[in-house]
Amino acid sequence: MTSTGRMRDWRGVLMGPDASLADALARIDAATFQIAVVVDDHGRLLGVMTDGDARRAILRGLPMNTPIGQVMNASPVTAPQGSSSGELLTLMRLRVVHQMPIVDTENRVVGLALIDDLIGVHEKPNWVVLMAGGLGTRLRPLTEETPKPMLVLRGKPLLEAILENLIGEGFRTFFLSVNYRADVIEKYFGNGERWGVRISYLREDRRLGTAGSLSLLPQAPVLPIVVMNADLLTQASISSLLQFHVALESQATMAVREYDFQIPYGVVRTSGERITAIEEKPVQKILVNAGMYVLSPAALAHIPPDSYFDMPSLFDRLNAAGAVTVAFPLREYWLDIGRREDYDQASMPRE
C-alpha cells in the first residue's frame, strides 16, 4: 500500500478556480492542511494556493472576492500516483514543500501528501526567544507584584499558554528574556523540565528593548530564530511564520496585522485650489507590528551588544543595508494584553 491510502481525508480542500479568496481561506482554515487544491470539473489539477500564497495576496491588497485562479501557483510540485512514503518525503524535502498533490497519469488529483503526516510533528531545532521583561505599567495594580506575562488567563499564566502552544508546534529550545520580577518567572518555569523542553534565561540588568536582549544569547544561532512578545494571545501558527520567512529567503520577517481607524472629519481632496472630492469620515487601513518575528543569524550581527535597541530599529538598519525584510500578514485571532481592558477582554470566554 502506498502512503496515499493512509492519509487524512483531503477532498475538502479541492476547489474550482472561480472560488473566491475568502472561500479558499475559510476552507484552508477548516481543513487544517494549509492549502487549497484547484481543480477543473473533471478533477484535473490546475494549481494550488498555500497559506503563504494567500498571505502574499492579502499584502498585495487583492480583494477577498478575487478568484483563486488568479492567485494560485499554476506550476506546483506534484508526485505520481503509487509513490511510496519514502519517495514522497524525499521529493518534499528536496523541493522544500510541506504539502504536495498526488496525481494520476491524466493529472487528476488522487491524494495529498502532507509532510507532518509522513514524519509526524517533529522537533524543530530553531530557537524561540520570548520577551518577558516588560514592566506592564498600564496594567497596574495587577502588575505591581506579578510580571505581565504571569497574569492568569483561563486558569494559567499567559506565558505558559504561549509556551505550550509553541511546544505543540514542535519547538523545544526556549530563551526567556527577563527583567522586571524575573524571580517569579524563573521560579515557575525553571529549566523547562516540567514541559519536556529546554529553557534558559537572558537576564537584563537594565532595559535593553525588544531586540537588545538578543545580544545576550550565549552563542550565535545557526538557524533562524523566532522572537515573540510574551504578552500576546493569538491563534497564529508560528510554524507558518517560519516557513514564510524561509520560503522568501528573508533576513528578518515581521508578523503584521491590519488596523482600521476612522478619520472623524470629511477628507477634502484638492488639485491646486479646486476641490476634486470630499470623502466623509473615511476608514483608513494600515498594517501594524504584531510583536512576532523570525530573524536569520545574519540579522543578529546588526544588534549592538548590551545596548538598548528596539526591533523597529533593527528592521531600519537591515533595510538600510539592503537586506531582505518581509511582512507576514496575520489573519488569525490576535490580542495584545497591554491595557486593563485588553486583559478583561482576554479573560472572557470566546465563542
Rounded to a whole number of angstroms, the CA Rg of the chain reads 23
349/329 Cα distance (integer angstroms): 25
For 326-341, the pLDDT digits (tens) are 999 887 777 776 666 6
Q: List b or e across 298-337, with b for residues whose CB sees 16 or more CB atoms inside 10 angstroms.
A: ebbebbeeeeebebebbbebbeeeebebbbbbbbeebebb
Q: Which pLDDT score, from 0 to 100, does residue 11 have?
A: 82
**Please, which residues bridge with residue 178 across strands?**
203
Q: How far does CA 86 lie from the centroid of its chain?
A: 29
Mean pLDDT within 311-332: 92
Nearest alpha-carbon partner for 245 in 302, 328, 323: 328
Sheet holding 109-114, edge to edge: 79-80, 99-103, 109-114
Tally Cβ neighbours within 10 Å of residue 176: 25
Contact (Cβ atoms closer than 8 angstroms) between residue 35 and residue 84: no
Amino acid letter at 269?
A: R
Q: Which residue has the higher pLDDT, 284 or 31?
A: 284
- State pTM to two decimals: 0.72
Residues 36-52: what's their mean pLDDT?
A: 90
Cα 30 to chain centroid distance, Å, stands at 17
CB atoms within 10 A of CB 44: 13
Question: Given a cut of 80, is residue 349 above it in pLDDT?
Answer: no
pLDDT at 121: 59
The end-to-end CA distance of the chain, in Å, is: 42
- Specify the DSSP element, H or E, that contains 86: helix 85-95
pLDDT at 302 over 60: yes
- What distance separates the 2 farthest-apart alpha carbons in the chain? 76
Name the packing angle between helices 21-31 and 51-59 (round to 10°): 140
Mark out the alpha helices in 190-339 (DSSP H runs): 209-212, 238-247, 297-300, 311-320
Nearest to 97 by CA among 37, 20, 175: 37
What are 39's three cell numbers? 481543480
Domains of the chain: 3-119 (3.10.580.10), 124-347 (3.90.550.10)
Residue with cell string 494549509: 34
Q: Per-residue pLDDT tens for 209-225?
A: 889 999 999 999 999 99
On the 0-12 / 13-18 / 19+ scale of CB atoms within 10 A, 142 is: middle
The helices-and-strands tally (H runs, E runs) of the chain is 11, 19
- What's the pLDDT tens digit per position in 258-280? 887 778 888 888 887 788 888 88
pLDDT score of 346: 58
Q: Are 121 and 100 in contact (CB under 8 A)?
A: no
For 286, counting Cβ atoms within 10 Å of its Cβ (0-12 exposed, 13-18 middle, 19+ buried), the class is: exposed
Q: Give the least confident one: 26-35, 95-104, 158-167, 182-191.
A: 26-35
